[in-house]
Each structure stands twice: as structure tokens, then as C-alpha cells.
Chains A and B, each alone.
Chain A
Amino acid sequence: QQQVKQSPQSLIVQKGGISIINCAYENTAFDYFPWYQQFPGKGPALLIAIRPDVSEKKEGRFTISFNKSAKQFSLHIMDSQPGDSATYFCAASIRTGANNLFFGTGTRLTVIP
């Protein structure tokens, strides 16, 4: 059973546009929500993360929006660039538990010039 559901599976955005990827979870014990970026042939790289005590976190062009009551969180990439073309994974963990990450199924983002 997929503990973290991610959509869309793929996304094509024009350069300069906004990319939005959504995730939803069921387990209310999750208390850490990172996003990872993965390029072909590479390992996932931490992009940005949020804890449930805040509703939004911004780092440069990347913003996480978090809705605790809806059990949803999303990644917004502003001013998307061709170099952002990669696969993005949302994840969740229970920090006080095993801390292992439960990943979404990934979104392949393509930014066209």
C-alpha cells in the first residue's frame, strides 16, 4: 500500500512557468516531509523539507506548501528552468520512530525552453 501518493506522474512546463507537484498521505504520525530531486543515473538529492508545525517553507525558487488538516503537501517551482528537468520525489517519515522515508512514486518534470 502506497503510504504517500504523488501526482502528476509527469509534467511539462514552459521555461519561466510554475511547476506544481502534489502529494497526499494517510498516516498522521508522519512529522517530516522532504522533497528529493533525482537526475538520471544519480542518487536522490535533498531539495527542501518541511515539518508539520509550519504551513509553508520557501528556499529560493522552491516552496513547500503544507496542509495538515487535508494531509497534503505540494512543491512549487517558480520560474522553472530547463536545468530543473528531473524526477521529483516527495517523502514522509516519522522522525521519532525509525525515520525511514516513505516515498511517493515520483514526477518526471520536463521544462521546455
Chain B
Amino acid sequence: DSGVTQTPKHLITATGQRVTLRCSPRSGDLSVYWYQQSLDQGLQFLIQYYNGEERAKGNILERFSAQQFPDLHSELNLSSLELGDSALYFCASSVGPGGPSQETQYFGPGTRLLVL
């Protein structure tokens, strides 16, 4: 158990809908990362938050957004869902934003999203 929690575990929804995925980082970790895992794209970085502030963006679609709250939990919002958004979404956390001894990322169990 990595200490990172994600809810829900599974999510089934229809095209055009909006969903919210939730992540709680390990105790003491200030940085949260979101990754998408799909069969055709593999594991891809979406976005990073550090202590409530957006720090880095990867291949995140404009239909997707995220935020990190004062209690450090994070939410990933996916809107206008398409069939191709079906994937596993992972949250990871690390102590800091990066740098020596702060780089290790611990992954949660993921949310499996199925868009029908």
C-alpha cells in the first residue's frame, strides 16, 4: 500500500458527461501528479500540483482540469467525455516538487474510467 488513495475505483459514464476523480496524497506529501494510462498511449503525465499551485502541465486536454485543495487532496475533472478518454487515471504524490530527495513518486491504485 503506497499510502495514496483514489476514489472511485471504477467509473462508467456516457459520452458528453463530466466526472470528477479524487486523490489523497501520502501523509506529508505536498506534490500531486496525475497520469493517464491507456493501451495506445501508455502512461502519460497530465498535470502536477505543488502545495495548491499548478506546477507543470503535460499532455492534458483542454476538456480536463485539476486542482489541489488546502488539505492537499486533488481532483481531476474530465468534461465532454469521449470514448477515447476511457483509461486508467493514476494519481501520484511526492514529498516536494522535485530536487534531491524529493523526487520519488508513489502511485495510487487508480480510477478505471469507461466512457460508453
Contact = CB atoms under 8 A, between A and B. Distances in A.
Contacts of A93: 98, 103
Contacts, number: 70
B110 A98 contact: no
B8 interface: no
Interface in A61-113: 89, 93-106
B20 interface: no
A80 B31 CA distance: 34
Nearest to B112: A41
Interface residues of B, number: 29
Interface residues of A, number: 24
9 contacts: A43-B109, A44-B90, A44-B107, A46-B107, A89-B43, A95-B98, A99-B102, A99-B103, A100-B56
A106 B43 CA distance: 9
A7 to B, nearest CB: 14
Contact of B100 (A42, A95, A106): A95
